[in-house]
Chains A and B, each alone.
Chain A
Amino acid sequence: MKNHRKGHLINKGNAPYVLLAPTILIFVLFMIYPIIRSLYLSFFELKSGCYQFVGLHNYIVLFHDRTFYKSLFNTVVYLVIQVPVMILLALAIAVLIEEKFLRGKAFFRTSVFLPSITALVAYALVFKVLLNGDHGLINYVIELFGAKGVNWFYGEWSARIAIIMAITWRWTGYNMIILLAGIQSIPDSLQEAARIDGATARQRFVYITVPMVKQIILFCTITSTIGTLQLFDEPFILTSGGPNNATITMGEYLYDNGFRYLKFGYASAIGYVMTIIIFLLSALQFKATAKGDTD
């Protein structure tokens, strides 16, 4: 500091920090502070208008809370079933759209992407009507084929399937666009060379397309995993977590505790457990793919 000329508030030494200050300030205020504050809150509980220190009590109650375990189980179900189905579907559609023979690419691309720009609440309400047990369109179609309609929101697994259908419809297009960008960036020469060498479409897909977009598949998988772990709107509107808490997610349970039951400390504890789970899963996914690269 002494070396710098006097009289200038901003000099060569501190200029980067001064310029970065607004961003850092906002980042600290809106990102770092809430993170630390919620960790702090998770050791407290609001009692009579004042936060009282309760130590690990929130975490202890949480580990005995059967609703929390159920929400964890549901989230895992969504994760294990929905994410792979959606990524495969997105990849398949992206590859199809990139195929030379397809006419009206823009139309298909737009239609598949369109669901991701609809408002969450609006689409969830539409699904609620579509899946209605007595006069929903989906049961009507099922009954046309002679099968018996499903009372979607009254069975535990049927309700979960309903949620999975809804989120797959909503998010496939989004992942498809990202994968499409990846596929488009594969040099044509690679595909052409393979074609000349006599590779079939399946072989080109498995040995060229998939390895070339691996990083993007990883990106989609991680964002979808995080998205699924934080899932909230669909179960909230379609099933309100029921029946028998079969569709409640960690996000919804957190919301209920924080904003309906006003247990902010407990909600923060749930948030922290969620964060740890997301962190571990993401690390695992990174590691799994990193290993694949070195082989």
Chain B
Amino acid sequence: MKKSRKKRLLATAVAIAMTGGLLAGCGKTAQTEAGPAGGSSSEKSGEGDITLAVWAWDVALMQLKDCAAKYQEEHPNVKFDFVEMGTDQVYKKLSTSLSTGNGIADIIQIEGDVITGYEDKFPEGFLDLSDILTTDDFVQSKINECVYNGKTHAFPWDAGPMGFFYRTDYFEQAGVEAGSIKTWDDLIEAGKKVEAVCKTPGGDPVKMLPVNPQRTNLYTMIRNELGTGLFDADGKPIVNNDNSIKAMEKAKQIYDSGICLDYNGWDEYEQCVVNESVACIPEAVWMIGTIKDKSPKTEGKWASIALPAIDGGKYSCNNGGSDLAANAKTKYPEQVKDFIKFALTDKELQIAGLEKYGLYPSYKPSYDAKIFTAGDPFFSGNVYAPFVEASNNIADIPASPNVLEANDEAAVSCTQVYLNGADVKQTFDALQENFENKYGH
């Protein structure tokens, strides 16, 4: 008797918990839809001081603080609560709390390559910024990050057009003319000369370029030059198409030629600059900041040109850069929008951000500023020139919510090709099959 009653109790408890779960499943959506409207109408006309919470990291946070100081000159009633949050922390919080909007800042910095994933999973999470964004004013690849399914879920900030940094002193010693490096094949030839002649301050032979054989960077770069992403415009995986195979074959050829220096993780990447162990770095424009910061003694020894090309490749690439998103449940949507627009379209602030922190604007009207023709005194020549050109020629690669996971999987395939000598075609056919299993339906 007693036992059966206990059992019944347990069964009831389980049933209640289950129904709770079921109800919680989609009930939230209905609630969230009503959220922003309700929130804004009640608080919009709030008199007196308001405080906007901002999450960002590193130099971006410093830049936003500068923006806030200037903004407050006109809007003394708006206070800011800046919190330094690393990418890991931001994403962890977003993935657990974005569906409710509780415990999330009003304004959030998010990297461009992950933001579509959040927008896809939580379409009610971010405030629609369509009314403050003039898409023609921004670099196309940033617009692709910020607009998804017809909604503007973020405001484009810094771009990462890619170029090719090289050490003028090493090139001179080896008798390599930077202008002669037009293709990746030219790079391999030049790399052999550099390694034969140049020595690092530590006494080791200088390698041509750093490559992480466990990541996709080099492959992605070459594939983007060919104008192809991991997915086509319909979201169908296309990793075993001709361009993708061609890019990986070239990446493998470069890696196998022995001109590369292996690195694993960001710390070791920076070490390449600090130890002066590489002659070149194909990287986004933000690398300027890292080079200046980590290796001040190499002042005057770095210059930049356009990325080496692959036959048939007519595009440039973009790597990284962040955007600003706003919490849809913010109490002050109007002020949030107003500040974001101010911070990211004020030409003076954009240029100051580039000068001080290396944040390369994606706001095209700022490109007529003097700095883009004058360059940076740390570098020989106008370091910005190749990047300005690149930013106008970035392939229009469709955003996909699955790109983060797909890129991790592609990295495994790259590892197999680089380190285990696997056949490119076979490896990428298997990858395609795997993608179709996961995203195909």
A residues contacting B by CB (< 8 A) are 28, 32-33, 36-37, 40, 44, 46-51, 61, 64-67, 151, 153-155, 240, 242-245, 256-263
Contacts and interface: CB of A to CB of B under 8 A. Distances in A.
B122 interface: yes
Contacts of B412: 67, 242, 244-245
Given A36-B17, A37-B21, A261 B405 contact: yes
B122 A49 contact: yes
Contact of B419 (A36, A46, A243): A243
Interface string B400-441: 001011001101100110011000000000000010011000
Given A48-B120, A243-B213, A153 B25 contact: no
A151 B264 CA distance: 11
Contacts of B17: 28, 32-33, 36-37
Tell me what chain A mostly uses at the interface: helix, strand, loop, or mixed.
Answer: mixed
Interface of B: 13-14, 17-18, 20-22, 25-26, 29, 32, 91-92, 95-96, 99, 117-118, 120-125, 213-214, 262, 264-265, 402, 404-405, 408-409, 411-412, 415-416, 419-420, 434, 437-438
Contacts of A242: 214, 411-412, 415
A154 B264 contact: yes
Contacts of B265: 240
Contacts of B419: 154-155, 243-244
Contacts of A49: 29, 32, 99, 121-125
8 contacts: A33-B21, A50-B29, A67-B409, A154-B419, A245-B412, A259-B92, A259-B95, A262-B95
Tell me what chain B mostly uses at the interface: helix, strand, loop, or mixed.
Answer: helix
Interface centre among B118, B412, B438 (most CB of A within 10 A): B412
A151 B118 CA distance: 37
Contacts of B22: 40
A50 B415 CA distance: 36
A172 B120 CA distance: 45
B354 to A, nearest CB: 30
A65 B437 contact: yes
Contacts of A155: 419
B437 A46 contact: no
A112 B441 CA distance: 53
A261 B18 contact: no
A270 to B, nearest CB: 13
A261 B434 CA distance: 16
A260 B92 CA distance: 8
A64 B122 CA distance: 27
B416 A244 contact: yes
Nearest to A17: B9
B405 A260 contact: yes
Nearest to A28: B13
A295 B262 CA distance: 57
Nearest to B120: A48
A65 B408 CA distance: 14
Contacts of B402: 261
A40 B21 contact: yes
A265 B14 CA distance: 20
Given A40-B22, A243-B214, 10 more contacts: A47-B121, A49-B123, A49-B125, A61-B438, A242-B411, A242-B415, A244-B420, A245-B412, A259-B96, A262-B121
Contact of B213 (A33, A66, A154, A262): A154
Contact of A259 (B21, B91, B125, B408): B91
Nearest to A57: B441
Contact of A262 (B26, B32, B117): B117
A261 B92 contact: no
Given A36-B21, A262-B95, A46 B121 contact: yes
Contacts of A32: 13-14, 17
Nearest to B20: A33
A50 B26 contact: yes
Contacts of A64: 437
B375 to A, nearest CB: 34
Contacts of B95: 258-260, 262
Contacts of A33: 17, 20-21
A93 B298 CA distance: 52
A256 B32 CA distance: 26
Contacts of A153: 264
A262 B121 CA distance: 7
Contacts of B92: 259
B21 A154 contact: no
Contacts of B25: 44, 50-51
Nearest to B414: A244
Nearest to B124: A49
Given A37-B17, A244-B420, A261 B214 contact: no
A260 B123 CA distance: 17
A256 B29 contact: no
B19 to A, nearest CB: 11
A57 to B, nearest CB: 8
B26 A51 contact: yes
B247 to A, nearest CB: 19
Given A153-B264, A261-B117, A261-B404, A48 B18 contact: no
B411 to A, nearest CB: 8
B401 to A, nearest CB: 8
A256 B408 contact: yes
Contacts of A36: 14, 17-18, 21
A66 B415 contact: no
